[in-house]
């Protein structure tokens, strides 16, 4: 994770911006993120109020019109294309500097079992006592694995995630500068994929959580302790899953969704809104399970389906 701090006026060496008021930042993110001391971009006035409610934002990259509406408590940089310049800054810091991550030689405990066909990056990996890495597993850089973790055959941990931006008639690839943190006693079964975080920090899997085959966990996701996630489930970027959650086979959770402690996502559900604690949801789009059953009975009554 980043331990650096950058003054906003240093950005003029990276992108063509005008500094309206100077300040410093130690992380980047979107206006919905909660990293400390963030630089964010703002290109639409309808998101001003949301940005002002986030106490973690210290600097804003925006256009000249929005800059006039922002209070002077922020560092403010003005750009003709805030989105493009923001991600250009991020890619530069991720690929050309140690702003997000300081390299170290990988550390593997003595009693770890690693199959000969598995790959473990030579830098920026920690594997704790008693862990098992099976055949054809890929442990890429920026991955921290706790004790007594099992990673089954064919899984990839720490991959680049799916983050691209359509900017200036191009598709811009966004570097993933963070990592993956897998806590003690997690089991990840065959052919799962877990992407590293984008803006530093970690995609996280909590203690005693178990992932079935073919589960995809996207960048920045936080999964709590003792969760059970069945085969082919997809958890999209920046979602937060509480403790003791059940996610059924082939379920899909959209990005930036919060699922509360003890919730149940039943088989094949498509979740596009937050799920409160101890709630059971079903369907596409997922709603309360009992409501779904009632609606299904009504539909059957007026159709040929039995």
Average pLDDT over residues 156-165: 97
- Residues classed as catalytic: 219
CATH topology of domain 107-293: UDP N-Acetylglucosamine Acyltransferase; domain 1 (2.160.10)
| DSSP line for 115-149 | -TT-EE-SBSEEE-TT-EE-TT-EE-SSEEE-TT-
Cβ neighbours of 133 (radius 10 Å): 25
Residue 288: partners with Cβ closer than 8 Å, 6 or more residues away: 279, 280, 281, 282
Strands 258-259 and 240-241: what pairing? parallel
From CA 80, how far away is CA 163, in angstroms rounded?
22
Q: Is 3.40.1390.10 the CATH number for 6-96? A: yes
- What's the pLDDT score for residue 271? 96
- What's the pLDDT score for residue 304? 58
Average pLDDT over residues 209-235: 99
Name the pLDDT band for 284 (thresholds 50, 70, 90). confident
From CA 241, how far away is CA 247, in angstroms rounded?
10
Contact 222, 257 (CB under 8 A): no
From CA 98, how far away is CA 163, in angstroms rounded?
21
From CA 25, how far away is CA 41, in angstroms rounded?
13
Domain ranges of the chain: 6-96, 107-293
Over the stretch 240-253, which tens digit does the pLDDT of each residue have? 999 999 999 999 99
**Is the predicted pLDDT of residue 295 greater than 60, yes or no?**
yes
From CA 109, how far away is CA 95, in angstroms rounded?
29
Strands 24-25 and 6-7: what pairing? antiparallel
From CA 15, how far away is CA 80, in angstroms rounded?
11
Comparing 293 with 30, the larger pLDDT belongs to 30
Name the pLDDT band for 1 (thresholds 50, 70, 90). very low
Model confidence pTM above 0.85: yes
Contact 103, 125 (CB under 8 A): no
CA dihedral 289, 291, 297, 303 (to 10 degrees): -100
């Amino acid at each position: 994770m980043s331990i650096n701090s950058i003054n906003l006026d240093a950005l003029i060496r990276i992108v063509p911006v005008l500094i309206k008021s100077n300040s410093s930042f130690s992380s980047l993110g979107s206006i919905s993120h909660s990293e400390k001391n963030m630089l964010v971009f703002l290109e639409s006035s309808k998101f001003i109020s949301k940005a002002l409610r986030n106490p973690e934002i210290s600097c804003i990259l925006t256009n000249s019109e929005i800059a006039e509406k922002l209070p002077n408590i922020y560092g403010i940089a003005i750009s003709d294309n805030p989105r493009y310049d923001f991600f250009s800054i991020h890619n530069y810091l991720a690929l050309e500097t140690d702003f997000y991550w300081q390299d170290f030689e990988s550390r593997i405990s003595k009693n770890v079992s690693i199959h000969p066909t598995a790959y473990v990056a030579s830098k920026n990996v920690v594997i704790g006592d008693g862990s098992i890495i099976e055949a054809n597993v890929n442990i890429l850089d920026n991955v921290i694995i706790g004790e007594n973790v099992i990673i089954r055959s064919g899984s990839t941990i720490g991959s680049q995630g799916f983050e691209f931006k359509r900017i200036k008639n191009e598709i811009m690839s966004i570097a993933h500068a963070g990592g993956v943190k897998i806590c003690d006693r997690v089991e990840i079964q065959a052919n799962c994929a877990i992407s590293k975080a984008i803006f530093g920090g970690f995609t996280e899997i909590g203690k005693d959580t178990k992932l079935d085959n073919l589960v995809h966990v996207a960048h920045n996701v936080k999964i709590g302790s003792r969760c059970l996630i069945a085969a082919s489930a997809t958890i999209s970027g920046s979602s937060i899953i509480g403790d003791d959650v059940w996610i059924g086979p082939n379920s899909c959770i959209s990005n930036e969704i919060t699922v509360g402690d003890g919730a149940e996502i039943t088989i094949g559900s498509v979740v596009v809104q937050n799920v409160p604690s101890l709630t059971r949801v079903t369907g596409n789009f997922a709603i309360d399970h009992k409501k779904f059953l009632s609606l299904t009975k009504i539909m059957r009554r007026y159709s040929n389906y039995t």
